[in-house]
Amino acid sequence: MKLMICTSNKKKFEEISSMLKALNIEFVKPPYELDVEETANTFLSNAYLKARAYYEAFGIPALADDSGLVIEALGGRPGVYSARFYKEEFGSHVLKEEDYNLPKDDLNNLKVLRLLENEENRRAKFVSAIVVMMSNSQGIFGEGELKGYIAKEPSGSLGFGYDPIFIPEGYDVSLANIEHKNEISHRRKALNALFDMLKKVL
Amino acid sequence: MKLMICTSNKKKFEEISSMLKALNIEFVKPPYELDVEETANTFLSNAYLKARAYYEAFGIPALADDSGLVIEALGGRPGVYSARFYKEEFGSHVLKEEDYNLPKDDLNNLKVLRLLENEENRRAKFVSAIVVMMSNSQGIFGEGELKGYIAKEPSGSLGFGYDPIFIPEGYDVSLANIEHKNEISHRRKALNALFDMLKKVL
């Protein structure tokens, strides 16, 4: 069987295909990227909309993921808006005009830190959902979580996104300091969950 | 294996369990109904939120569905708002105060017919999504569609919901006139799609 991994990110393609390689399937890249709007309000549904769009465009089983950060004291935000949190109206008062010169990831992190400035509850989790559309009416999915806390300030240079301000449970440094991040990540857990399901349906 | 069918509707429970009976699993009803908000903007995601809530509450594999009517000329509405369309702000100008004395289903149908009064494009489809949460991080799903048209006026007394104003492709009467509705329905198609997946993962 062929499985299309719907990402234009090379590292993600490698991570996913190496994790699933024991399944003896052929991994293919999309011939071109589709512009799928991630308009849903759950991670699962965003992954589903993407997988479905690729299945419909190219006609082979398609795997897509969505992930983000869920912060308890912010009512689950940034959630499905993780990548574009700096642009969201929610909490926009904490950003000043000059902040917008920062790179997008830094701006997202700054916004989170300022919103949590006087907040004692710093509990948060990274969440990942991965959907495989097997036919035009059938699919499977796997999910993973990494629980932790929001740091007081950013640190570390590995990883990307919110990694510098996220301290996983059982650690005292941020994810951007952890070399083996990929082994403990929410996406790895989701891939493990998916692996079991794929093995059965193939 | 036990499978919890998350519905308080007896007919739905019977239909689903009889469709899946060849799988040799034990179907159980939820000990009590959970109040799960259907806040997602896709059918799949609503079914998922429901299945997940039941899995988390009772700890056994849980099946849940969501379905609705998608009308092309209304930009996909009523969609996930099918059951409560009469209450939606969209198009509320076509309903008068006295209309609100009607039963909910009649009011929904009236609203659709008035919104499409001068509309030539009457294409629509019923959509059903069924999700089974197999563990706290794994699931499968099946989907089904029934394509058709919105009638000029309601007719027929079988079925419920939008059935009296929906004419399936290949028919010249509404779904509320079709005795074998269950054999051609979107839910039946979704159940068929799910059946194949369940067979493999059990």
pLDDT(A202) > 90: no
Predicted local confidence at residue B68, as pLDDT: 95
Q: Is B142 part of the contact surface with chain A (CB cutoff 8 Å)?
A: yes
- Within an 8 Å CB–CB cutoff, is residue B201 touching chain A? yes
Give residue A155's pLDDT: 96
pTM of the model: 0.91
Strands (E), A43-159: 62-71, 123-135, 138-150
Domain limits for position A82: 2-201
CA distance A59 to A51: 11
Q: Is A35 a catalytic residue?
A: no
B41-75 pLDDT, tens digit each: 899 999 999 999 999 999 999 999 999 999 999 99
Tokens of A97: 């005009």
Q: CA A149, A175, B139: angle at the middle one, nearest 5?
A: 75
Q: How far apart are CA A202 and CA A188, in angstroms?
A: 20
The predicted structure's pLDDT at residue A49: 95
Cβ partners under 8 Å of residue A20, min gap 6: A3, A27, A191, A194, A195, A198
For residue A184, name the pLDDT band (cuts at 50, 70, 90): very high
Amino acid identity, position B61:
P
Q: Which residue of B has its CA nearest to A142?
A: B138
Q: Residue A45: its chain B contacts at CB < 8 A? A: 40-42, 44-45, 48
Q: What is the predicted pLDDT for the residue at A178?
A: 95
Q: Is A39 on the interface with B (CB under 8 A)?
A: yes
**Residue B137 touches partner A, C-beta closer than 8 Å:** yes
Mutation for testing the B interface, residue in A137, A186, A191, A197 having most B CBs under 10 Å:
A137
Least confident range of A30-44, A70-84, B84-98, B186-200: A30-44
The torsion angles phi and psi of A178, rounded to 5 degrees, stand at: -105, 110
Candidate list A35, A65, A66, A172, residue with the active-site label: A66
d(CA A80, CA B42): 14
ipTM attached to this prediction:
0.89
Choosing from B65, B66, B105, B196, the catalytic residue is B66
Residue B120 sits at φ, ψ, to 5 deg, of -80, -35
Average confidence (pLDDT) over A138-165: 95
Tell me how many domains chain A contains: 1
Provide the pLDDT for residue B41: 85
State the pLDDT at residue A41.
Answer: 85
**What is the distance in angstroms between the Cα of B9 and the nearest Cα belonging to chain A?**
24
Q: Are B40 and A42 within 8 A, CB to CB? A: yes
* CA–CA min distance A115, chain B (Å): 26
Q: Do A137 and B40 touch (CB under 8 A)?
A: no
pLDDT for position B34 = 95
Shortest CA distance from B49: residue in chain A: A42
Residue A166: pLDDT band with limits 50, 70, 90? very high
Q: Could you tell me if B40 lies within 8 Å of chain A, comparing CB atoms? A: yes
Find the range with the poorest average confidence among A34-43, A81-90, A114-123, B174-183.
A34-43
Closest CA to A66 of A124, A21, A147, A126: A126
CATH code, A137:
3.90.950.10
User: Is the CB of A37 inside 8 Å of chain B's CB atoms?
Assistant: no
Which uninterrupted H or E stretch holds B26? strand B26-28
Per-residue pLDDT of chain B (202 residues; tens, 9 = 90+): 899 999 988 888 988 998 898 898 999 999 999 999 878 889 999 999 999 999 999 999 999 999 999 999 999 999 999 999 999 999 999 999 999 999 999 999 999 999 999 999 999 999 999 999 999 999 999 999 999 999 999 999 988 899 999 999 999 999 999 999 989 999 999 999 999 999 999 8
- Exposed e or buried b for every residue in A151-177, given b needs 16+ CB within 10 A? beebebeebebbbbbbbbeeeeebbbb
d(CA A92, CA A96): 9
C-beta neighbour count of B71 within 10 angstroms: 24
Q: What is the pLDDT of residue A103?
A: 93
Span A177-181, average pLDDT: 93
Task: Kindly state the average pLDDT of the residues A71-90.
Answer: 94
Residues of A in contact with B135 (CB under 8 A): 193
Q: Return the exposure string of B107-116: e unless at least 16 CB atoms fall within 10 Å of the residue's CB, then b.
A: bbbbbbbebb
A15 interface with B at CB cutoff 8 Å = no
